[in-house]
Chains A and B, each alone.
Chain A
Amino acid sequence: MEKYENLPAADAALDITDAVCPITFVRAKAALEEMEAGAVLALRMNDGEPVQNVPRSVKEEGHRILKLADNEDGTYTLFVRKVEEA
């Protein structure tokens, strides 16, 4: 549908399709830590448990979810803008 359209520009990309909970979130957290505030991470993850949990956990850390794009291959890409903790 909007596979190649309207996707935010990403400054960094991370594939966590080879990981399971909670390492999915741990790797995402580590990647965000290394980025500048305001930068966008494109996070590719599997459907199911990762899509249910990782966006919520990333949001709880205070980062901004820009978009969750369905790659239509059993994976999703989550676009997250890093927010520096207050």
Chain B
Amino acid sequence: MSFSNEQLERYSRHIILKEIGIKGQKKLSAASVLIIGAGGLGAPAALYLAAAGVGRIGIADADRVDLSNLQRQIIHGTNDLGKEKAESAAESMRAVNPETRVETHVCFVSAANIGALIAGYDFVLDGTDNFPAKFLINDACVLAKKPFSHAGIIRFRGQLMTYVPGAGPCYRCAFKEPPPPDAVPTCSQAGVVGAMAGVIGSLQAMEAVKYFTGAGELLTGALLTYDALAQEFRKIRLPRREACGVCGSNPTITAPFDYPGAVCEVAP
């Protein structure tokens, strides 16, 4: 397959880059990404990956667009209030780049459906806002040997890491278990700066682009944290944990499971 003049122009700023070039752009065209959560993190990630010419993007969310979402979920507009978030996101992505195939999954992820959902994609991007969903995505991706980007945001802070099978720790290596319910407030209780979703969601899109093109180093084996008040990034080295319940040498988790009482509210 060779690019048309129109495609060469659309992707010219990628193609000029030595680290991407025509080869890297073709890899992006052949790539597929599943974005779980069409919320704060998913919004910029979905727009940038669609604009980047990722061939196929799945977007999973069961919620509808609410007025309180619009402060940070920039893929939705005021005219989208009440629409299914997955559909609203897909419309924006198709408007940015009609060449990207967008698939909508109007559902919350659970142990029952996550295996089938992630099986259809090369890379998974976690844009959820709660610990049960994050552990579920981690376990399912580790068990299916699926690379994924983890991220979380709250108030003026954000963090992300990337899991690639065989290349470093998983999310459970670092965080073991979800905190007790209500020990950590969700974004709806604690608040979050809208631009924080833009910073961290864009970094997740960057990890996906680098994963597919092979450019540079991924955040495997490291947690990148961002403190907006101090305006500081920190990269914390993370070792793989031999005793990890899912990726360790004697795993106790052999199938994805839902934490009790978990209502997977996606999207911060």
A interface residue numbers (CB < 8 A to B) = 22-23, 25-27, 29-30, 33-34, 60-61
- Given contact pairs A30-B2, A30-B22, a sample of 14 additional A-B residue pairs in the complex whose CB atoms are under 8 Å apart: A22-B12, A22-B16, A23-B12, A25-B16, A26-B8, A26-B9, A26-B12, A27-B5, A29-B15, A29-B21, A29-B22, A30-B8, A30-B15, A33-B23
Q: Is B18 an interface residue (CB 8 A)?
A: yes
Tally the A-B contacts, defined by beta carbons under 8 Å. 29
B interface residue numbers (CB < 8 A to A) = 2-3, 5, 8-9, 12-13, 15-16, 18, 21-23
CB-based contact A34/B8 at 8 Å: no
Chain B residues near A33 (CB-CB < 8 A): 21-23
Alpha-carbon separation in the docked complex, A21 to B3 (Å): 18
Chain A residues near B21 (CB-CB < 8 A): 29, 33
**For residue B2, which residue of chain A has the nearest CB?**
A34
Alpha-carbon separation in the docked complex, A26 to B7 (Å): 11
Quote the shortest CB–CB distance from A85 to chain B (angstroms). Answer: 9
Alpha-carbon separation in the docked complex, A72 to B164 (Å): 56
Quote the shortest CB–CB distance from A20 to chain B (angstroms). Answer: 11
